């Protein structure tokens, strides 16, 4: 298949114009494809982390909203309590699912790109194992996702309480606390085997918000370590692709063409039957960020 460095643009009538800069050799294309795919892997991993973080923020914001509303008006009925439980459970399930999706997708991509015996695989497993071993919140959330997937919803207990904070003015503070019910969770012992003893040592009811917040800190640590450990690889790949981009920009300037740098796949050679033309897009923004970070470092 013919592959070319090209320019994608549109004229005043919005008609697509494809301009070829030059043909790529098979070796050039393979090097480019590998580099661009690995940069795409970084982009996907950060998209997944963004989904995870946004799900956490949605849960956190909703919890704070309900807490503030309850503090202002503690006279809520059973229907509102049921709504609070349902909506918070929905946000927590989203958070649990996106957390596992984040780590599972990175594992699958590393295996696919580098192999299970690769240094990249060992490094990432080491990062996750260290966080798992050192943080009960991460161990619990990891197991809770499996429990939720097969057995039931995470929140089983909502505690509403009031106390006088000023004896003279009789000012009261009302608080809403969402809890896990330890014994309810442990009824399905098979899901908690590796942390069963730790679970038994917990209070009968324990705070949901604290554990989820700490687990988010664990995910942030995993993501930061993953990017830092692989930054040299990503920067190297960005440099490979950046060379083609720079060449294309220079050629386009000389020809007076303004557009988006791309790869043209399948344009027919002379005397060759017409083929389907496919446009390969380059991760331009991320490449700029990676090459800029390399120059700074």
- pLDDT, tens only, 88-121: 999 999 999 999 999 999 999 999 888 999 999 9
Output the CA–CA distances (angstroms, integers) from residue 94 to 50, 100, 207, in the order listed.
Answer: 13, 10, 19
Domain limits for position 79: 3-296
pLDDT at 49: 97
Please classify residue 77 by burial: count the beta carbons closer than 10 Å to its beta carbon, then call 0-12 exposed, 13-18 middle and 19+ buried.
exposed
* Rounded average pLDDT per 10-residue block, the chain, 297 residues: 89 88 93 92 94 97 89 73 90 97 95 90 96 97 94 82 69 79 91 94 91 97 95 90 92 86 76 66 77 56
The domain tally of the chain equals: 1
Residue of 241, 224, 251 lying closest to 289 (CA atoms): 241
pLDDT at 281: 86
Residue in the structure block whose two tokens are 């990175």: 106
| Other Cβ atoms within 10 Å of 258 Cβ, number | 9
pLDDT at 142: 95
Residue of 44, 154, 40, 136 lying closest to 97 (CA atoms): 154
Residue in the structure block whose two tokens are 């050679």: 269
Output the CA–CA distances (angstroms, integers) from residue 290 to 82, 113, 194, 270, 287, in the order listed.
Answer: 48, 19, 40, 38, 5
Cα angle vertex 86, ends 175, 143, to 5°?
A: 90
Cα–Cα distance for residue pair 258/120, rounded to 1 Å: 39
pLDDT at 2: 87
Cα–Cα distance for residue pair 250/246, rounded to 1 Å: 6
* Tokens standing for residue 122: 């060992």
């Amino acid at each position: 298949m013919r592959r070319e460095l090209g320019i994608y643009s549109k004229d005043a009538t919005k008609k697509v114009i494809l301009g070829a800069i030059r043909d790529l050799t098979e070796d050039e294309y393979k090097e480019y494809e590998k580099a661009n795919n690995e940069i795409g892997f970084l982009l996907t991993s950060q998209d997944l982390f963004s989904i995870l973080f946004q799900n956490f923020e949605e849960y956190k914001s909703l919890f704070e909203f309900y807490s503030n509303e309850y503090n202002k008006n503690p006279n809520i009925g059973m229907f509102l309590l049921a709504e609070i439980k349902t909506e918070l459970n929905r946000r927590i399930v989203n958070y649990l699912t996106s957390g596992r999706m984040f780590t599972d997708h990175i594992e699958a991509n590393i295996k696919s790109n580098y192999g299970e015996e690769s240094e990249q695989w060992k490094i990432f497993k080491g990062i996750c194992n260290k966080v798992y071993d050192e943080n009960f919140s991460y161990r619990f959330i990891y197991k809770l996702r499996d429990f939720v997937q097969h057995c039931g919803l995470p929140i089983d207990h909502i505690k509403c309480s009031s106390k006088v904070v000023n004896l003279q003015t009789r000012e009261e503070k009302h608080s809403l606390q969402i809890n896990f019910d330890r014994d309810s969770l442990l009824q399905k012992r098979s899901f908690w085997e590796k942390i069963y003893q730790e679970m038994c040592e917990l209070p009968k009811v324990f705070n949901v918000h604290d554990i989820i917040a700490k687990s988010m800190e664990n995910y942030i640590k995993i993501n930061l370590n993953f990017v830092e450990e692989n930054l040299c690889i990503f920067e190297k790949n960005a440099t490979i692709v950046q060379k083609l981009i720079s060449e294309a920009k220079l050629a386009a300037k000389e020809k007076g063409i303004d557009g988006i740098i791309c790869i043209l796949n399948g344009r027919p050679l002379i005397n060759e039957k017409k083929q389907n033309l496919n446009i390969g897009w380059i991760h331009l923004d991320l490449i700029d960020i990676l090459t800029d970070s390399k120059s700074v470092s």
